[in-house]
Amino acid sequence: MPAAIAAVATENAPAPFGHYVQTIVADGFVFISGQLASLADGTMRSDADFEAQARQSLDNLLAIAAAAGAAPERIVKVTAYIVGAEHWPAFDHVFAEAFGAHRPARSVVPVPALHHGYLIEIEAIARL
């Protein structure tokens, strides 16, 4: 019998802007949808500088992981989409602050643009 697949949501991160959920838990894994730098109440922060957006996106991601029962050290893979490779060093700095000694597998993908004018979107996979 296949394991249950369950959507998990938290009010500590913005509600989805489209037809998707914040996260899905399946077979002991947590799949966190891409997070922009919006506040939990949905206020858009696309006018903030890159580091502020990166921190907010990571805060959203970590809040969703926590709601699903996954501590930061249980995050195994992160993919970050950033507008402009020049932001890579700043992202690395903010990422290191957020995760401390834990070093999940990671991909950073420079892109030409993101929805709503944001500079970063971050998704992740965690293990319960």
What are the pLDDT digits (tens) for 102-122? 999 999 999 999 999 999 999
pLDDT confidence of residue 74: 98
What's the CATH code of the domain at 87? 3.30.1330.40
Confidence of residue 2 (pLDDT cuts 50, 70, 90): low
pLDDT confidence of residue 1: 55
The 3 state secondary structure assigned to the chain is: CCCCEEEECCCCCCCCCCCCCCEEEECCEEEEEEECCCCCCCCCCCCCCHHHHHHHHHHHHHHHHHHCCCCHHHEEEEEEEEECHHHHHHHHHHHHHHHCCCCCEEEEEEECCCHHHCCEEEEEEEEC
* Residue 107, beta-bridge partner list: 79
Number of structural domains (the chain) is 1
pLDDT exceeds cutoff 90 at 83: yes
Which residue, chain included where needed, has tokens 């834990």? 102
pLDDT exceeds cutoff 80 at 3: no
- pLDDT averaged over the chain? 96
* Residue 79, beta-bridge partner list: 107, 123
Task: Please compute the mean of the pLDDT values over residues 9-17 and round it to a whole number.
Answer: 95
What are the pLDDT digits (tens) for 14-71? 999 899 999 999 999 999 999 999 999 999 999 999 999 999 999 999 999 999 999 9
**What residue numbers bound the domain in which 110 lies?**
5-127
Judge whether 89 and 33 are in contact, CB under 8 Å: no
pLDDT exceeds cutoff 60 at 75: yes
Residues contacting 107, CB < 8 A, separation 6+: 77, 78, 79, 80
